């Protein structure tokens, strides 16, 4: 079996606001194999986004180990982390976070400008990504000319344009109507099954969570109730 994509050991994370310490994650363990599609549920404020940010290298843990795609993130400088993210991580946000002044095409091209690819190669990748999400005909539209569901599909195209190993999605359907949400979830499932992307997706919606191959709950700083069908499990201090 190949190396796991995510390995988390005894992860602690607390925030400080003035003198108050807010413990969010306390001694969490997690392992994700390549091709896993994991959904993460839990009450609001339980630390789901915090965990996602730590896995994606956007934030540093208070203590513990986070190894993603074979890299111990604590070994990387900020600049190295930025480069590492651009290579291995694809982001999908709840509010899409498209750049409003750029067209769909340019938004998808954005992460590719950080790679050494030629214009032609970039063009190829952008069109492939937009094809996958079914919006090749909308590439000259600006975000405000698209529906929420379409915006999120463009955002997904942007996330997969660089062919990253791991997709992190923070409530990708949280702002969408049921139909659009269904389309987004179909797409996520397809990215997992057809393109072999490892995915971790935070959601509030139990139906959305069911689309994943593995479901986790975050409560009181640790993962519980791993109703995984495929992978090994761990956790509990």
Partner 1 sequence: MTVLGTGLVVWAMVLTFGLTDGLEHALRISGHPLDIIVLRKGATDETGSSITPQQAQELATLDGVARNANGEPMCSAEFVTILTKPRRNNGGTTNMIVRGVETIGRDLRPDFEIVQGRDLRPGLNEAITSASMASRFENLSLGEKLEINRVDFEIVGFFEAGGSAAESEVWTDIRDLASARRTPDAVTTVNLRVSDESAEQSLIATIQDDKQFNLKAIEETQYYEDQMTSAIAIKFVGYVIALFLTIGAMFAAANTMYAAVANRSREIGTLRALGFRRRSILFSFLFESVLICVLGGVLGCLATLPFNGLTTGTANWATFSEITFSFRFGPTVLMRGVLIALLTGLVGGLFPAIRAVRMQIVNSLREQ
Residues that bind partner 1 (CB under 8 A): 50, 53, 56, 58-59, 78-79, 82-87, 91, 93, 95, 97, 99-100, 110-111, 114, 158
Q: Which is it for the CA torsion 169, 213, 174, 52, positive or negative?
A: negative
Contact flag: residue 164 with ligand ADP (CB under 6 A): no
Which residues, 6+ apart, have CB-to-CB distance to 79 below 8 Å?
none
Q: Residue 224, Cα to own-chain centre: how many angstroms?
A: 20
* Residue 61 C-beta: closest distance to Mg ion, Å: 17
**Please, which residue, 69 or 201, has the CB nearer to Mg ion?**
201
The Cα 138–Cα 190 span in angstroms is: 21
* Residue 170 C-beta: closest distance to Mg ion, Å: 6
Region of 57 (left: φ > 0; alpha: ψ -120 to 50; beta: rest) is left
**Please, which residue, 17 or 120, has the CB nearer to ligand ADP?**
17
Cβ atoms within 10 Å of 75's Cβ, excluding its own: 9
What is the footprint of ligand ADP within residues 20-59 (CB under 6 A)? 22, 24, 42, 44-50
Among 29, 39, 49, 107, binds Mg ion (CB under 5 A): 49
82 binds, among partner 1, Mg ion, ligand ADP, none (CB under 5 to 8 A by kind): partner 1
**Please, which residue, 46 or 162, has the CB nearer to ligand ADP?**
46
Three-state DSSP state, 23? strand
129 and 158 in contact (C-beta within 8 Å)? yes
105 binds, among Mg ion, partner 1, ligand ADP, none (CB under 5 to 8 A by kind): none
Three-state DSSP state, 169? strand
**Please, which residue, 83 or 236, has the CB nearer to partner 1?**
83
Determine how β-strand 166-170 pairs with β-strand 198-202.
Answer: parallel
* Residue 2 C-beta: closest distance to Mg ion, Å: 30
* Residue 160 C-beta: closest distance to ligand ADP, Å: 23
87 binds, among Mg ion, ligand ADP, partner 1, none (CB under 5 to 8 A by kind): partner 1
The Cα 29–Cα 70 span in angstroms is: 16
36 and 216 in contact (C-beta within 8 Å)? no
83 binds, among ligand ADP, partner 1, Mg ion, none (CB under 5 to 8 A by kind): partner 1
Rounded to a whole number of angstroms, the distance between the first and last alpha carbons of the chain is: 27
Binding site for ligand ADP (CB under 6 A): 15, 17, 22, 24, 42, 44-50
């Amino acid at each position: 079996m190949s190396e796991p994509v995510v390995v988390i050991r005894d992860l602690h994370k607390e925030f400080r606001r003035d003198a108050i310490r807010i413990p969010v994650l306390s001694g969490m363990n997690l392992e994700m194999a390549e091709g896993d599609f994991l959904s993460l549920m839990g009450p609001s404020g339980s630390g789901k986004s915090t965990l996602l940010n730590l896995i994606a290298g956007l934030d540093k843990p208070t203590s513990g180990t986070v190894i993603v795609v074979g890299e111990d993130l604590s070994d990387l400088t900020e600049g190295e982390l930025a480069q590492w993210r651009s290579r291995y991580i694809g982001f999908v946000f709840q509010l899409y976070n498209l750049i409003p002044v750029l067209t769909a095409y340019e938004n998808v091209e954005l992460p590719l400008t950080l790679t050494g690819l030629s214009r032609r190669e970039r063009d190829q990748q952008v069109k492939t990504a937009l094809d996958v999400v079914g919006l090749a005909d909308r590439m000259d539209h600006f975000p405000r000319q698209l529906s929420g569901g379409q915006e999120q599909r463009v955002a997904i195209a942007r996330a997969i344009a660089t062919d990253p190993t791991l997709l992190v999605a923070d409530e990708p359907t949280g702002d969408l109507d049921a139909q659009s949400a269904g389309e987004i979830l179909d797409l996520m499932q397809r990215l997992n099954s057809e393109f072999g992307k490892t995915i971790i997706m935070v959601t509030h919606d139990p139906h959305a969570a069911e689309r994943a191959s593995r479901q986790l709950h975050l409560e009181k700083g640790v993962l519980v109730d791993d109703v995984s069908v495929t992978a090994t499990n761990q956790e509990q201090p």
